[in-house]
Chain A
Amino acid sequence: MVDTLYIEREVAEHKITQRVLKRYPNAQQVSIEQYGEVFNPAAQNFRSQKRNPALILARKTGQRIMPAPEEYEIGGDQNYYFSHMLNCVYDCRYCFLQGMYRSANYLLFVNYDEFADDLIEHVATNGATEPWYFSGYDCDSLAFEPVTGFAEYFLDVFARKDMARSTLELRTKSTQIRSLERRQAMSNVVVAFSLNPQSVVADVEKGTPSLDKRIKAIQRLQQAGWRIGLRFDPIVWHDDFERDYREFFARVFAELDSAKIDSITLGAVRLPKTFHKNMVKLFPEHWLFKAGMTQREQGMVGYQSSLEERLLEICQQQIAEHYKHPVHSYPIASVSE
């Protein structure tokens, strides 16, 4: 539920803005000139705002398609991401957004049409054979779908003939899959689900669908022919780690069709040092930012290297019992400067 909408004057009449306004007829509307007035001021507390985030509707100017971070490079010969939204409706304690942004307000860029133009031009001109575009870096790709209609819009874009050699990856924890189910599965779209054992979901992935519901959503998409990615990232160390993850992997691979899994990636909790510092300030009482954590190479904070290595190895071995294809693993040591 959103109580407050901040609306850039420039996009007040935009089609997507009007769609969102219909969704929140009782929300107070505040007109703003530029989203930075609300989103960027220094003296804001992310944790406090997360209790009742406002929704900011704005136009994304400047560069809209960015080179993908290394962890995302599992796709094509060139990898990019684009963010139609900053901040997430979920409240995962490990999420780097808490350390990156001052505001917990949802910032939705409504100029989908300009994103689409940029994507079409990018595919035509960037020279890549199979460019890969990720959504879900700065927000969950599907969690806000009933409000934003993001997937509905961009699936149409990637369904164009001139976009056929490009791939869209929607990264999500959400079960809002109706906009995908309403259409034929697309060969150039991968729906990548982040998964964790239910004990981890319940403890540190506040507000997200249960593992059970995520598996059911994936099953439905697999049956409909959609390409599925699994992201076991971040795995979270705890006292029953080995048993919890063994049972978890056994369940995931028993209930899903392994032959129809497009790719699997694996990574442990890791954060840039500055984000980690901000998050400790926000949640000084939370064990996640302290347990097994240490300063690592490349300006990162994560599990001490021997622990990270052990956790990733355990998961690799457990996955290998069920899934015979390579798993892309991302230890901190693999991050280049």
Chain B
Amino acid sequence: MCEAQPLIKRLNLLHQVSAHGFRLYYSAEQQTALLVTGCGRNAMAAGLMWARSCFVSINVFINVGSAGHGSFSLGECVLINKVSEHSSGKTYYPPILSKWGQKFSMLQTVDKPSDNYHQSLAYDMEASAFLSTARRLVNAEQAQVIKVISDNPANDYRQLNAAKLTELIDENCATIIEFSRQQTELLTESDVAVDEAMLEKMHAHWHITVSQHQQLLTLLSSKAVLQQFALTQEPEWQSFSKVKHYMAELQTWLLDCAPRLSVPSKSKVRS
């Protein structure tokens, strides 16, 4: 909880819901949420699944926390490029797409705190479970791990306290939030909106089987993309007695929609 406080404050996460020993803080518009899982892999896996069930539309996940490191200084904020799980040997490579101006590190997820540091490794107790669980929910690019170095060979974990952890995260809030913003921007997926209201009316108008529904969705999605190129009026769906007749007509109409290139050739510009 001490690691979460600065982010809750900066992100203005005023609302909260609790269940199963987890606490989830979220913004008024429900675009950002912060889950406090507690320590360890099991808590991370269970907490993440629960959080996802609360906010299904959130599609960028970042594991923020503290970590030990064999050579980095206290307070350094690192983006993790490789996570290996000590107990199983499993390895994860979060694909890094956003710009990151700080250091990168490999990380090992261990089951209990240790003061046996390898020079080039960060250590935590949750990241492997975070990535393993997140990849069941979203693509690999959408799950990242950021750690703030809280202990190293010169300052071992026994010297840590809640106030110090809060301070370390607080100092790096701006970096973490900026990374989160970039990730969200990068990973916004394109979609073609099919007119749901019209689809509903079609269902009331015709008997539509499950497979016809799928075909219809595909055709309507093509229509949404290609109608800008249409030279003739699209078929009026209400005038068809059966959906299959409408789909056949729509298919023919779509095949005649010749795309206009967005960059015209020179001769076209001249004319």
Residues of A within 8 A of B (CB): 3-4, 6, 28, 30-33, 37-38, 41, 43-45, 47-49, 51-52, 54, 103, 105, 197-200, 202-203, 237-241, 243-244, 247, 283-288, 290-292, 294, 304, 307
Contacts and interface: CB of A to CB of B under 8 A. Distances in A.
Interface string B232-271: 0000000000000000000000110111111111111000
A302 B229 CA distance: 19
B96 A238 contact: no
Please indicate which of the listed interface residues A32, A49, A239 has the most CB atoms of chain B within 10 Å of its own CB: A239
A37 B141 CA distance: 14
Nearest to B265: A199
A304 B254 CA distance: 12
A54 B267 CA distance: 39
Contacts of A198: 263, 265-266
| Complex A-B, nearest 3 residue pairs according to Cβ-Cβ distance, in ascending order | A202-B263, A199-B265, A239-B258
6 contacts: A4-B81, A30-B81, A48-B186, A49-B95, A202-B263, A294-B255
B221 interface: yes
B258 A241 contact: yes
Given A284-B191, A291-B229, A237 B141 contact: no
Nearest to B192: A284
A285 B191 contact: yes
Interface residues of B, number: 41
B226 interface: yes
Nearest to B262: A203
Contact of A290 (B97, B135, B139, B254): B254
A44 B226 contact: no
A198 to B, nearest CB: 6
Contacts of A203: 261-263
Given A32-B93, A243-B267, A290-B254, A238 B225 contact: no
B259 A287 contact: yes
A103 B245 CA distance: 40
B187 interface: yes
A238 B229 CA distance: 10
A70 to B, nearest CB: 26
B175 interface: no
A237 B258 contact: yes
Nearest to B258: A239
Given A199-B263, A203-B261, A290 B225 contact: yes
Nearest to A204: B261
Interface in B176-194: 186-187, 189-192
B157 interface: no
Contacts of B192: 284-285
B261 to A, nearest CB: 4
A43 B91 contact: no
Contact of B140 (A4, A33, A44): A44
A21 to B, nearest CB: 16
B96 A292 contact: no
Contacts of A44: 95, 139-141
B93 A37 contact: yes
Contacts of A47: 189
Contacts of B138: 43
Given A238-B258, A238-B260, 15 more contacts: A4-B96, A32-B82, A37-B91, A43-B135, A45-B139, A45-B187, A238-B259, A240-B264, A240-B265, A243-B265, A284-B225, A291-B257, A291-B258, A291-B259, A307-B255
Given A44-B95, A238-B261, A304-B255, A290 B186 contact: no
Contacts of A48: 95, 97, 139, 141, 186-187
Contact of A30 (B82, B97, B98): B82
A55 to B, nearest CB: 12
Contacts of B190: 283-285
Contacts of B221: 284
Nearest to A239: B258
Nearest to B105: A28
A292 B255 contact: yes
B66 to A, nearest CB: 22
A51 B186 contact: yes
Contacts of B226: 287, 290-291
Contacts of A283: 190
Nearest to B191: A284
Interface string B174-215: 000000000000110111100000000000000000000000
Contacts of B189: 47
Please indicate which of the listed interface residues B95, B135, B226 has the most CB atoms of chain A within 10 Å of its own CB: B95
B106 interface: yes
